[in-house]
Amino acid sequence: MIKLYQFPPAFGLPNMSPFCMKVETYLRMAGLPYECPRGADLRKSPKGKMPYIDDNGKVVADSTFIIDYLKATYGDTLDAHLTQAQRALGVVIQRTFEESLYWPVVHSRWIDDIGFAKVNQAVFGRMTFPLRQVIPIVARRGLRKQLHAQGTGRHTRDEIYAIGCRDITALADLLGDQPYFLGDEPASIDATAYAFLANLLWVPIDLPMRAHAATFANLEAYCRRMKARYFSSTPARA
Ligand SMILES: N[C@@H](CCC(=O)N[C@@H](CS)C(=O)NCC(=O)O)C(=O)O
């Protein structure tokens, strides 16, 4: 069975990492059985990030490469119906979530004191002294460095949330009144979209981007639709 290595569930979501939740959503959309071994360790990940999978000894890291591998190995039923233009739009939507919106989300969780108070408790709350004192500080410092290197960390808080809100508006307008991002049928891009939008709407960090996303009824309806279709059963945990 496919082993999906990822962070433990948090905030009532399968994962608070949108990249991990993307792969778990894809596995469910594609109907591929999987398990999530407990105690997944970032240090064992080939690329030092989550998620990665082990499929009978074949280890693949990075959510997009994992999905490419799963499509190549088990077939690609989800995207078979797409036109070239829809495939191109899927790539652009994916980049907006993963390369743009992701960074304001990271800021809201790890740098903004309001978000960090929640994340600190959810992620590190069960750690014991002295790790409970040290690890959150080290993790936060690491994320601050990443944000600075990527560039988002050089903007003001207002500028960062303006970038995030503009992405959210564009994505909500693109979805419009369609049931799924590329039309009437779900496609693999919906794994990314659901993972990011559920993490934005349903993680109780009350910052401008969440409030902004909540003004678009289609985004909430979309997340409910995806949840009902693919997560009516409890996520598999080994
Ligand atoms: N491009 C990667 C991104 C994965 C990623 O950034 N994962 C984050 C969690 S959202 C992570 O593992 N961060 C740990 C770290 O940077 O130390 C993918 O698509 O899987």
Inside any domain, residue 237: no
Query: Is the pLDDT assigned to residue 237 strictly greater than 90?
Result: no
Asked if 176 and 212 sit in the same domain, the reply is yes
Let me know the angle formed at the C-alpha of 181 by 53 and 66, rounded to the nearest 5 degrees. 10
Residue nearest to atom 17 of ligand 1 (CA): 49
Please give the number of the atom of ligand 1 that sits closest to the Cα of 50.
12
pLDDT tens digit sequence for 104-139: 999 999 999 999 999 999 999 999 999 999 999 999
Ligand 1 near 62 CB (within 6 A): yes
Residue-level pLDDT at 235: 53
CATH number of the CATH domain containing 125: 1.20.1050.10
Report the predicted TM-score, pTM, of the whole model to 2 decimal places. Answer: 0.97
Total count of domains within the chain: 2
C-alpha 219 – ligand 1 centre gap (Å):
24
Residue-level pLDDT at 233: 79
Range of the domain at 223: 84-230
Q: Ligand 1: which of 4, 21, 25, 50 to mutate, judged by most atoms within 8 Å of the beta carbon?
A: 50
Residue-level pLDDT at 180: 98
Inside any domain, residue 235: no
Asked if 62 and 92 sit in the same domain, the reply is no
Asked if 97 and 174 sit in the same domain, the reply is yes
Asked if 139 and 217 sit in the same domain, the reply is yes
Asked if 104 and 200 sit in the same domain, the reply is yes
Task: State the pairing for strand pair 2-5/52-55.
Answer: antiparallel
Asked if 21 and 45 sit in the same domain, the reply is yes
Asked if 114 and 208 sit in the same domain, the reply is yes
Asked if 41 and 126 sit in the same domain, the reply is no
* Tokens 């990314």 found at: 192
Burial of 57 (0-12, 13-18, 19+ CB in 10 A): exposed
The DSSP symbol for 231 reads: -
Asked if 60 and 88 sit in the same domain, the reply is no
Ligand 1 near 199 CB (within 6 A): no
Q: What six digits make up the tokens of 42?
A: 């970032």
Residue-level pLDDT at 236: 52
Q: What six digits make up the tokens of 101?
A: 């919106």
pLDDT tens digit sequence for 68-79: 999 999 999 999
pLDDT tens digit sequence for 10-67: 999 999 999 999 999 999 999 999 999 998 999 999 999 999 999 999 999 999 999 9
